[in-house]
Amino acid sequence: MAGKSAAATAKDNRNTTVIWVAVVLLFIGVPCAIGIVNGSESTDVPGPTTEQRTATVPLLASAFDGQGICYGWVLSDWGDEISVGSNLGDGTPVRDDPRCPRWIEVSAVVHYTSSSSESQDSARIGVNGSDDIDRADLYPIASGLGRFGLDEDAFVDEPGWAITRATTVLPLLAAEVGLAEAAPTPTAATPSGTPAPLPSAGSDLLRDRWGWLVAAAVLLLVAALFITVGVRQRNRPTAPGRGVAPDAPSRNSRQRRGPVPAQRAGAGPAGRTREGA
């Protein structure tokens, strides 16, 4: 069987090295790229829309005229204020404003995490008031928000709608605990109608990690392709003329030996004489 020349062996080694480098880059580079793309997913908490804010302020102003209590909202994300407003106007808080000696404010802290994180999206809801309002009266107001569907899930799903909607029901809840006279319920004049429908239920594994699953399948297919190509190149026979038989004497060695001396008549094999000679 003809052996491979040094050039052919070097070429095969280079091809094998290139294949392994490509496999390593795919198995390391592709997951890193996917991680960067997933990591760049926006986790910004959306605030209320312009329509929601402009529809909420008149309702709160009407409640202030009837009850003498200022109502407002504050939406934030881990200390970063996203939206604030009150019966005094969009962007105007009720806290520490001399025009509002009595005030009640609903606050919500919403935090979104990336889809690749093990942590879940979260929301914390609270109701604060001026010094003349007891904490014992603020607690039933905060717990009463759940009767209107304004729980933590609602704030996580649509924080802008939830914060403005919660502010509009504060006058009703304040009247229930005896802090003010009853005010008209603004249920029919919600800021933006009904909240957006929740996404369809499905497998969390497929929904949150579908990119990784697709990448893994692609990597497996590419690895199988490289292995197949490498095996075929290794088993490919050497082309005629590119190899020499390992035991065949070379042409130069035959030339160096010179002509073989002729055997004398009657002589035996070279180096031996007939018996009795």
42-69, pLDDT tens digit by residue? Answer: 788 999 999 999 999 999 999 999 999 9
Its pTM surpasses 0.85:
no
Helix (H) or strand (E) run with residue 226 in it: helix 204-235
Confidence tier at 106 by pLDDT (50, 70, 90): very high
- Percentage with pLDDT > 90 across the chain: 44
Confidence tier at 219 by pLDDT (50, 70, 90): confident
Distance CA 105, CA 194 (A): 23
pLDDT for residue 122: 92
Distance CA 275, CA 264 (A): 15
Mean pLDDT of 171-186: 82
Phi then psi for residue 188, to 5 deg, are -75, -10
Q: At a CB cut-off of 8 Å and minimum separation 6, what does 153 contact?
A: 123
**177 or 229: whose pLDDT is higher?**
177
pLDDT in tens, 1-17: 445 577 767 666 666 67
Mean pLDDT of 120-129: 94
Distance CA 130, CA 101 (A): 7
- Alpha helices for 40-91 (secondary structure H): 50-67
Angle at 107 between CA 106 and CA 112, to 5 degrees: 140
CB-based burial label for 44 (10 Å; 0-12, 13-18, 19+): exposed
Tell me the HSE value of 130 on the side-chain side, using a 13 A CA sphere: 20
First-residue to last-residue Cα distance in the chain: 47
Mean pLDDT of 214-234: 75
Q: Which of 50, 46, 51, 58 is nearest to 167 (CA)?
A: 58
pLDDT for residue 178: 93
